[in-house]
């Protein structure tokens, strides 16, 4: 099936007389006939749902759909994108371990890695994604356990050099974990470019309508965990009578451990209703993400022609520094609905433009159906000095604009009238 068809038909196929829409199993628990059967479920020798923190039929249908969209062997839905990133890494790293990550990753991921993981004993070296391989190579240590990057970074809008980072990760026997939130599997399937694990904030384009938080981890199923670097996967798990994941679960070892061990213990699960809403969004994802991208390209081209603009960053623009990478890794070079641009008038001009928007709303959000904008210097990155802002690629006059599904001419008209105010 092509991806448009997969978005509608993967994960759930009703039988004769079955409900056409995905049923919502609004139940925390399930009923059994024998203690022997429940024992088998707990030993992982029988498959089935027994408690919604671990699995639920509605959530499972959406997990199967997302695994199919990404071309992976299994997926695990989580309560948010943050939970997906946290569990994806904790599944293979702990105190005394080290990670390599690109410096332009999403601010929430940056805090998680640099501050919270540090407290847990996991160290991170951040690297410039555009640096030559020989330089990035120096960041690796004997205790490095994963490389982390973003397909299209939020909000820097850099495009990941998959070829370089997957080669580096694999040379060190560690997986490449990629946050594919902005591209979605419609524009990029990271497993086809050497990634091993994919995470998403489904809160963004996948759900798409700004109604439901969520995240997902997808296992590509091809990484070899038996190098000795990942004892959690290759040595007995005492909490399952000595089960060894790589022996018992084959290519799905990683995602099975994430569910039966980490989701069991940490509990950041998606709800049946949340999974249903996510599924509604997924059904129209190909139509939406392509139109978001077309609208963003039109707005970015308009902004490029304005004399009030210092620069526009959008990988879909031919002049963008990552345009060639966008063409290589993204479907038709389409680069999602998010663009950023900086006003020549700096902070004051940016604030004035945002306040002057009529159609475009001021929101701490991106990647949903309505156009919205944010001024990072006075909100998400408020605590940073101008020098720190510069290091993060954020100028005081920068506006992050997430183009929705309104007619592009209406979005441009709103941007135009707001720019006239400065
Ligand atoms: C929003 C976002 C996250 C975090 O997801 P939440 O669902 O908000 O927890 C992670 N990565 C990227 C790229 C995001 O845009």
Give bridge partners of residue 217 from the DSSP assignment.
Answer: 76, 199
Give bridge partners of residue 399 from the DSSP assignment.
Answer: 341
Of the residues 223, 247, 280, the one at which a domain ends: 280
Q: Is 80's C-beta closer than 6 angstroms to any atom of ligand 1?
A: yes
Looking only at Cα atoms, what is the longest distance across the chain? 74
Same domain, 241 and 113: yes
pLDDT band at 371 (very low <50, low <70, confident <90, very high): very high
pLDDT band at 381 (very low <50, low <70, confident <90, very high): confident
Same domain, 181 and 233: yes
pLDDT band at 380 (very low <50, low <70, confident <90, very high): confident
Token pair, residue 255, equals 């995602």
**pLDDT tens digits for range 180-197:** 999 999 999 999 999 999
Nearest Cα to 146, choosing from 183, 84, 91?
91
**pLDDT tens digits for range 26-60:** 999 999 999 999 999 888 888 999 999 999 999 99
Choose the weakest-confidence range: 19-28, 39-48, 249-258.
39-48
Same domain, 193 and 53: yes
User: In degrees, to the nearest 5, what angle opens at C-alpha 89 toward C-alphas 83 and 90?
Assistant: 85
Same domain, 334 and 271: no
Pocket test for ligand 1, best of 181, 199, 372, 374 (most atoms within 8 A of CB): 181
Nearest Cα to 168, choosing from 83, 102, 256, 242?
102
Half-sphere exposure (Cβ direction) of 142: Cα atoms closer than 13 Å: 1
Domain ranges, residue 197: 3-280
* Residue corresponding to tokens 């592009």: 408
Span from the CA of 243 to the centroid of ligand 1 (angstroms): 33
Same domain, 168 and 232: yes
What total number of domains does the chain contain? 2
Between CA 372 and CA 133 the distance in angstroms is 37
Q: Is 154's C-beta closer than 6 angstroms to any atom of ligand 1?
A: yes
Same domain, 78 and 120: yes
Of the residues 280, 302, 317, the one at which a domain ends: 280
């Amino acid at each position: 099936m092509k991806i448009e068809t997969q978005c509608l038909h993967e994960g759930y196929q009703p039988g004769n007389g079955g409900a056409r829409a995905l049923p919502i199993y609004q139940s925390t628990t399930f009923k059994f006939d024998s203690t022997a059967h429940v024992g088998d479920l707990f030993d992982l020798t029988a498959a089935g749902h027994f408690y919604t923190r671990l699995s639920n039929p509605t959530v499972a249908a959406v997990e199967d759909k997302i695994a199919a969209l990404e071309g992976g062997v299994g997926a695990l839905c989580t309560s948010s994108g943050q939970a997906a990133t946290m569990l994806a890494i904790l599944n293979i790293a702990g105190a005394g371990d080290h990670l390599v990550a690109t410096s332009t990753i999403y601010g929430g991921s940056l805090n998680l890695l640099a501050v919270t993981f540090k407290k847990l004993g996991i160290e991170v070296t951040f690297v410039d994604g555009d640096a030559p391989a020989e330089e990035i190579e120096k960041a690796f240590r004997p205790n490095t356990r994963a490389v982390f990057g973003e397909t299209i970074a939020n909000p820097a809008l850099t495009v990941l050099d998959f070829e370089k980072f997957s080669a580096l990760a694999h040379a060190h026997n560690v997986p490449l974990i990629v946050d594919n939130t902005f591209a979605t599997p419609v524009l990029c399937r990271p497993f086809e470019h050497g990634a091993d694990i994919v995470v998403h904030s489904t809160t963004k384009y996948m759900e798409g309508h700004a109604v439901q938080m969520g995240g997902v981890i997808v296992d590509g199923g091809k990484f070899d965990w038996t190098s000795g670097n990942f004892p959690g996967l290759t040595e007995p798990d005492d909490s399952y009578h000595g089960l060894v994941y790589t022996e018992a679960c084959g290519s799905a070892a990683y995602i099975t451990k994430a569910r039966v061990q980490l989701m069991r213990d940490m509990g950041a699960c998606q709800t049946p209703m949340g999974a249903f809403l996510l599924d509604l969004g997924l059904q129209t994802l190909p139509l939406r993400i392509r139109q978001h991208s077309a609208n963003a390209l039109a707005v970015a081209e308009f902004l490029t022609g304005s004399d009030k603009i210092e620069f526009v960053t959008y990988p879909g623009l031919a002049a963008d520094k990552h345009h060639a990478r966008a063409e290589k890794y993204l479907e038709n070079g389409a680069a999602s609905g998010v663009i950023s641009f900086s006003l020549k008038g700096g902070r004051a001009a940016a604030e004035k433009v945002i306040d002057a928007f009529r159609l475009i709303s001021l929101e701490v959000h991106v990647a949903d159906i309505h156009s919205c904008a944010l001024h990072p210097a006075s909100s998400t990155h408020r605590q940073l000095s101008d020098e720190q802002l510069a290091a993060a690629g954020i100028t005081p006059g920068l506006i992050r604009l997430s183009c929705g599904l309104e007619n592009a001419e209406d979005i441009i008209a709103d941007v135009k009238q707001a720019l006239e105010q400065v």
